[in-house]
Amino acid sequence: MEVQSARFIKSYGEYTQMSFEQRPEFAFIGRSNVGKSSLINMLCNNKYLAKTSSTPGKTKLINQFLINDKWNLVDLPGYGYARVSKDDKKQFDNLITNYIIKRENLYCLFVLIDSRLEPQKIDVDFINKCGSSGIPICLVYTKIDKDKGKLVDKNVEAMCIELKKTWENLPTYLLTSAEKGDGKKELLKNIENALKISM
């Protein structure tokens, strides 16, 4: 599948503001500063589609895009903010939780993980939360172009070992680089296969 058109629909401050649609929806989420906006822009062939920033936590709303006039892409706020108040953190957590649990047309949640880092507790906890809630997820390791030696392989293996403590069948994972375009074909193929199953 190729992305031939990508159009911003709207930003939402609450899950309840979103209208229910039969259109399949695929959402992206990750720890703050994981490279989510850059990855979305790479997938959609538009470096200006999702706003990128050197300041972590730029995305604070649910941003919805229409792709190929067939499916929705959703850019969710990141988790793990370091520079927000406890009240703001709770608000973001509630916004995310309500969306991923209650959004009926959510086909897959792509959970982005920085491939340069060893398994982070906040990522593991979020992935386990999705698993216990029955949320369909796919792990997306970002920034593999920054790898030094076999660091990515080591970190991916470590994450698999960690998740095996709670998962019987591990979620699918993909390796990507927004800068080099690595993993673009595989990620879009993942979405294409999900769309075929739904038809």
Domain containing 82 — which CATH number?
3.40.50.300
Mean pLDDT split into 10-residue runs, the chain, 199 residues: 94 87 92 91 92 59 94 90 65 86 94 96 95 96 89 96 97 96 96 83
Specify the pLDDT at position 30: 95
Residue 102 lies in a domain: yes
The helix/strand/coil state of 115 is: coil
Q: What is d(CA 36, CA 116) in angstroms, rounded to the nearest whole number?
A: 15
Residue 71 lies in a domain: yes
For 161, the domain range is 6-198
Specify the pLDDT at position 124: 97
Phi, psi (5° rounding) for residue 111?
-100, 115
Q: Which residues pair with 57 in a beta bridge?
A: none
Residue 101 lies in a domain: yes
Structural domains of the chain, count: 1
pTM of the model: 0.92
Residue 1 lies in a domain: no
Q: Give me the sign of the Cα torsion angle 6, 75, 58, 171.
A: negative
Residue 86, CA distances (Å) to 57, 63, 93 in order: 15, 23, 10
Q: What is d(CA 34, CA 22) in angstroms, rounded to the nearest whole number?
A: 30
Specify the pLDDT at position 198: 64
Specify the pLDDT at position 71: 96
Structure tokens at 99: 């969306």
